[in-house]
Amino acid sequence: MGELVNIFIKSAFIENLALSYFLGMCSYLAVSKTVKTAVGLGLAVIFVLAITMPINWVINVWLLGENGIFQTDLTFLRFILFIAVIASMVQLVEMVVEKYSPSLYNSLGIFLPLITVNCAILGGSLFMVSKEYNFSESVAFGIGGGFGWFLAIVAIAAIREKIKYSAVPPALRGLGMAFLLTGLMGMAFMGLMGIDPAAF
Amino acid sequence: MADTAVVEKKQGLTFGKKERKLLTDPLSENNPITVQVLGICSALAVTTGMKNALVMAIAVVFVCIFANVITSSIRKMIPKSVRMIVQLIIIATLVTVVELVLKAYAFESYKQLSVFIGLIITNCIVMGRLEAFAMANRPYESALDGLGNGIGYGIILLIVAFVREFFGKGEIFGAKILGATPDYWLNTSESSIMGWYQPNNLMVLFPSAMFVIAVIIWAHRAWKPQLVDVS
């Protein structure tokens, strides 16, 4: 259990997907103008990461691995299968949420299709492969990574809401400022590298 | 750009003002990174060295062109409801090709780029251009559009990588230029003119990519005020 908490802390703070690997930057910059929408997208990312990560783990090990069903190394099919899983899971999640929780659907609705092309989702699955996590570790990594991404986008959205009232040079307004802020947040998050996850 | 024009002429296709615009627009006025804000995801992490940035840029140009051409040539057969999945599969196939080629011929770069090759799939430039251009235009124009956007992306990538590698490590493409040990071309510890020089280690760390891009955007928008964000 301690090992799982360790991975959660590490993926949420120390190796933050958005701030230290720059994953999901496109939607991170596009949807961080207000806190409300940022929270919606952040929740959807946690949700989809937590679902797709274990599924992709199963596919990678049981279907594509050398000891899987076909007994051959099929890892060159990894990209295609991963992205197909992500696209179809997002579609499925969208349909289920729409049917059973229309209020959640209304708040997440427009963000769900965006998530298919959010690099944080595919990047999470690829990192899981390169770090050779086992099943429960990949679940912890999925939730932790999603949580870290959520934190990053909500924080930048809050800062961007406030910075609207500042006198920023015109050419730096909007996008340029968002980049600078992300860089500063990245530096702040580097301070968390000193955390020893084993202490938890 | 001159090479492209020659190749196109051989195929009997025109290369006029409109086609030139397709190629040059993404280089500045409609740059995928600084104006369209696409493809930042997989870009920033690979800019610590110019060599990796170049490999990444070539890979993205390749994927951009061929994904655009393939999608454009089957655009009338793709049902609207599943077009995203079709596009993703096309891109994923091309990226797999890139990955295998790199694994075979440039194993060093392959190891350093690791997951970021796979992330070309979700690089919004490719997907964005498919949606915005290739689904509505002929393969020839789509190829030019892909080439232009790939190059526009590559240029920014190389600028960022140059700043980070040169000021961070004193190297260009891995060639040692400025440094404090004798194997550097200009040895800063002995030379009296450059004795004050210290490499800026922040440039090697990840936040610097953000700062460099922010400065590029700032300069670009100060130069072309029509791009300034009004919101």
**At which residue do the structure tokens 């280089």 appear?**
B27
Alpha-carbon span B11 to B38, nearest angstrom: 31
Alpha-carbon span A120 to B178, nearest angstrom: 36
Contact B143, A154 (CB under 8 A): no
Strands (E), chain B: 171-172, 175-176, 178-179, 186-187
Identify the pLDDT of residue B121. 83
Is the CB of B218 less than 8 angstroms away from the CB of A26?
Answer: no
Q: For every residue of A40-107, which 3-state class applies, written as one string?
A: HHHHHHHHHHHHHHHHHHHHHHHHCCCCCCCCCCCHHHHHHHHHHHHHHHHHHHHHHHHHHCHHHHHH
Q: What is the pTM of this model?
A: 0.81
Identify the pLDDT of residue A149. 92
Q: Does the beta carbon of A74 lie under 8 angstroms from any beta carbon of chain B? A: no
Of the candidates B26, B37, B61, B53, the one whose C-alpha atom is nearest the C-alpha of residue B162 is B53
Model pLDDT for residues A33-81, shown as the tens digit of each residue: 888 888 888 888 888 888 899 899 988 888 887 777 777 777 788 888 8
Question: Does residue A186 register a pLDDT over 60?
Answer: yes
How many CA within 13 A on the CB side of residue A142?
A: 25
Per-residue pLDDT for chain B (231 aa), expressed as one digit of tens each?
A: 334 444 444 455 667 777 777 777 777 777 777 777 777 776 677 887 888 888 888 988 999 899 999 988 888 888 877 777 888 888 889 989 988 898 898 888 888 887 788 888 877 788 888 888 888 888 888 888 888 888 888 888 888 888 888 888 777 777 777 777 777 777 766 666 666 777 777 787 878 888 888 888 888 888 877 777 655
Question: Max alpha carbon distance in chain A (Å)?
Answer: 63
C-alpha distance from B135 to closest chain A C-alpha (Å): 17
Question: Does residue A8 register a pLDDT over 90?
Answer: no
Identify the pLDDT of residue A150. 92
Identify the pLDDT of residue A144. 92
**At which residue do the structure tokens 């700062």 appear?**
B211
How many CA within 13 A on the CB side of residue A30?
A: 19
Identify the pLDDT of residue A148. 92
Please give the residue that has the higher pLDDT: either B200 or A83: A83
The ipTM, to two decimals, is: 0.79
Structure tokens, A82: 């991963």
Alpha-carbon span B68 to B74, nearest angstrom: 10
Model pLDDT for residues A103-134, shown as the tens digit of each residue: 777 766 666 777 777 888 888 888 888 888 88
C-alpha distance from A103 to closest chain B C-alpha (Å): 24
On chain A, the residues whose CB falls within 8 A of the CB of B45 are 21-22
Alpha-carbon span B127 to B68, nearest angstrom: 9
Identify the pLDDT of residue A199. 62
**At which residue do the structure tokens 């070309």 appear?**
B120
**At which residue do the structure tokens 């991404």 appear?**
A149
Domain ranges of chain B: 33-227
The residues with which B179 forms a beta bridge, in sequence order, are B187
Contact B129, B145 (CB under 8 A): yes
Which A positions 96-135 lie with beta carbon below 8 A of chain B? Answer: 113, 116-123, 126-127, 130
Identify which of A22, A33, A180 has the shortest CB distance to residue B41.
A22
CB atoms within 10 A of CB B16: 7
Cβ-based neighbours of B61, under 8 Å, separated by 6 or more = B146, B147, B150, B151, B153, B154
Question: Does residue A147 register a pLDDT over 90?
Answer: yes
3-class SS shares of chain A: helix, strand, coil, % to 5: 75, 0, 25
Identify which of A26, A87, A88 has the shortest CB distance to residue B40.
A26
Identify the pLDDT of residue B7. 42
Intra-chain end-to-end CA distance of chain B, in Å: 36
Structure tokens, B198: 């210290």
Structure tokens, A25: 């930057």
Is the CB of A26 less than 8 angstroms away from the CB of B41?
Answer: yes
By DSSP bridging, strand B186-187 and strand B178-179 are parallel
User: Quick one: closest CA in A to B223, which residue?
Assistant: A171
Amino acid at residue number B78: I
Alpha-carbon span B211 to A83, nearest angstrom: 31
Q: Does the beta carbon of B88 lie under 8 angstroms from any beta carbon of chain A? A: yes
Percent of chain A topping pLDDT 90: 10
Average pLDDT value for residue range A26-38: 82
